């Protein structure tokens, strides 16, 4: 058994910034199921939104966020994050983060993205997430109170209820698979932060990396925590479409919202703009509107993709402002400085998650959630571009303050049973896991995508239930491994998306049901 004052599951921006703050008050164990920097935070391109310019205001940022969230945001959470945003940026600067400098006396260059009425996006070229995560990781490695553990997969939370203890329902730690040794260990802690990222891998096509399998949401749900807004899966409208490849790898690289913010225009296969038909903001409309518009144009014309054109910018602009995008597109035979970029929508961000209060506390005592794992109420039915990184930093701070204010431990060290190691593992069973994962992703992509219906959601639930039963049977007879644990988590998350989507009898934000095409103002 490993014991720490704080257990952080996930090592992105939310997890690491929480760890750095909590480490001033006690020992912190940070675990990640893969390698450090293999997370959604490190892939974030566009930037981090905060009121930084004298011509901007908290009220403007709040208004833009509420508008993008289609009226379903928690205004208290929005105001907390927006108003704490500038201080969060200053703290990132103290940890060594470097943002692109501005011109004409401005300290930092500010970009604008879809849904924002002002320039308020601080960035580090088009690799902002990597810059922030790398600097936080460097700081965490130097802190004597932080233990960083790679290849440690949290399988399930340990709670008083699960152990049958007569006390208040609270978290006691987690069962964690050491992927190197194959052993399942008990990580004992009364304060656990879930920061495992999103669940984009539930779909065939996603901008997320392979680790985005909804682990935190699934664990919290199995432990009895409240889950909210899972129907609001944001599809990014501009994922690079590799016309020279087949399969999921053809649609996996994000073309940042910032490209449209800097003048990029969406055009059809005929070379003509089309966004004016869907929204007066044209190519700068919020993501939910833009993604549905792209989906509609592709269906209307029968084309495999649309195009994002920024080739009209001056020579050298694209290479300087978007070096990662420029290099990646060129690697696949597209020069964005001289020709339009083929793009399609792909699953990108989970607006819902484990429901938290303003302190990042979930409905299960001692359990916190931050980053994409949590549902703070900031995003409502649709996330405003670049709000996610600032949310991760601010709510990690809120959670750390709350968690460190209640350091008294529940005296339960004995009585936590070891994980049951019985079971076998065969090649045939691994093939079944892989096949079930592909079937689940196809179900979600075909029936629970950008446009849904009552019939598609019903079909998805019926088909998913078969995979669920087969997977649980497999889980009960073989030794735990990453692939099986991820599959269980993805099925749980898929179920929540379908069930909560079925319960919403209207179309709002990221959730569009063709049987209820309009919002219900009631």
Q: What's the sign of the alpha-carbon dihedral 323, 324, 328, 329?
A: negative
Exposed/middle/buried for residue 272 (C-beta within 10 Å: 0-12, 13-18, 19+): exposed
Q: Which residues pair with 266 in a beta bridge?
A: 308
Exactly one of 79, 170, 188, 287 is catalytic; name it.
287
Which two structure tokens, joined as six digits, stand for 58? 């908290």
Q: What beta strand segments (E) does 262-319 contain?
A: 265-267, 306-309
- DSSP classification of residue 378: S
Q: Could you give the 3-state DSSP secondary structure of residue 267?
A: strand
> How are beta strands 306-309 and 341-350 bridged, if at all?
antiparallel
Torsion of CA 39, 45, 46, 48, to 10 degrees: 40
Tell me whether residue 287 is one of the annotated catalytic residues. Answer: yes
Buried b (16+ CB within 10 A) or exposed e, 296-335: ebbeeeeeebbbbbbbebeeebbeebbebbbebbeebebe
User: Regarding beta strands 121-122 and 48-49, do their DSSP bridges make them parallel or antiparallel, or are they unpaired?
Assistant: antiparallel
- Residue 139, Ramachandran bin (φ over 0: left; ψ between -120 and 50: alpha; else beta): alpha
Contact 31, 154 (CB under 8 A): yes
Half-sphere exposure of 480 (CA within 13 A, CB side): 24
Task: Enumerate the active-site residues.
Answer: 287
């Amino acid at each position: 058994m490993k014991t720490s004052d704080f257990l952080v599951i996930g090592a992105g921006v939310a997890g690491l910034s929480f760890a750095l703050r909590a480490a001033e008050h006690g020992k912190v164990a940070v675990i990640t199921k893969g390698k450090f920097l293999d997370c959604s935070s490190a892939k974030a391109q566009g930037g981090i939104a905060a009121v930084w310019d004298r011509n901007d205001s908290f009220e403007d940022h709040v208004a833009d966020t509420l508008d993008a969230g289609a009226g379903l945001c928690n205004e208290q959470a929005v105001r907390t994050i927006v108003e704490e945003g500038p201080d969060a940026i200053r703290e990132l600067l103290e940890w060594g983060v470097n943002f692109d400098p501005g011109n004409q006396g401005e300290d930092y260059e500010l970009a604008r993205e879809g849904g924002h009425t002002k320039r308020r996006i601080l960035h580090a070229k088009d690799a902002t997430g990597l810059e922030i995560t790398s600097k936080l990781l460097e700081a965490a490695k130097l802190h004597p109170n932080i233990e960083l553990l790679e290849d440690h997969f949290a399988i399930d939370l340990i709670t008083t209820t699960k152990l049958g203890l007569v006390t208040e329902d609270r978290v006691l730690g987690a069962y964690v698979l050491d992927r190197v040794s194959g052993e399942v260990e008990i990580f004992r802690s009364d304060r656990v932060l879930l920061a495992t990222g999103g669940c984009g891998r539930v779909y065939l096509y996603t901008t997320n990396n392979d680790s985005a399998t909804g682990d935190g949401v699934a664990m919290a749900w199995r432990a009895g925590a409240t889950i909210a807004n899972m129907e609001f899966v944001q599809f990014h409208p501009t994922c690079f479409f590799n016309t020279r490849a087949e399969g999921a790898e053809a649609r996996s690289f994000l073309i940042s919202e910032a490209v449209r913010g800097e003048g990029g225009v969406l055009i059809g296969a005929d070379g003509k703009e089309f966004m004016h038909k869907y929204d007066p903001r044209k190519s700068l409309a919020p993501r939910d509107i833009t993604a549905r518009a792209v989906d509609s144009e592709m269906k209307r014309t029968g084309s495999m993709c649309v195009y994002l054109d920024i080739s009209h910018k001056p020579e050298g602009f694209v290479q300087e402002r978007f070096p990662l995008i420029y290099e990646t597109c060129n690697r696949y035979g597209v020069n964005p400085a001289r020709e339009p970029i083929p793009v399609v929508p792909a699953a990108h961000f989970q607006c819902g998650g484990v429901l938290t209060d303003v302190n990042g506390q979930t409905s299960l005592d001692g359990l916190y959630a931050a980053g994409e794992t949590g549902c703070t109420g900031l995003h409502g039915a649709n996330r405003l571009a670049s709000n996610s990184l600032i949310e991760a930093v601010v709510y990690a701070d809120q959670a750390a303050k709350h968690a460190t204010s209640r350091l008294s431990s529940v005296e339960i060290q004995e009585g936590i049973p070891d994980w049951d190691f019985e079971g076998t593992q065969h090649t045939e069973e691994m093939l079944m896991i892989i096949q079930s994962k592909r079937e689940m992703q196809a179900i979600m992509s075909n029936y629970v995508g950008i446009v849904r219906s009552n019939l598609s959601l019903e079909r998805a639930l019926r088909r998913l239930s078969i995979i669920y039963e087969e997977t649980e049977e497999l889980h009960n007879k073989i030794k735990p491994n990453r692939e099986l644990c991820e599959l269980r988590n993805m099925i749980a998350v898929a179920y929540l998306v379908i069930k909560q989507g079925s319960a919403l009898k209207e179309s709002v934000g990221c959730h569009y049901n063709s049987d209820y095409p309009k919002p219900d103002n009631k």
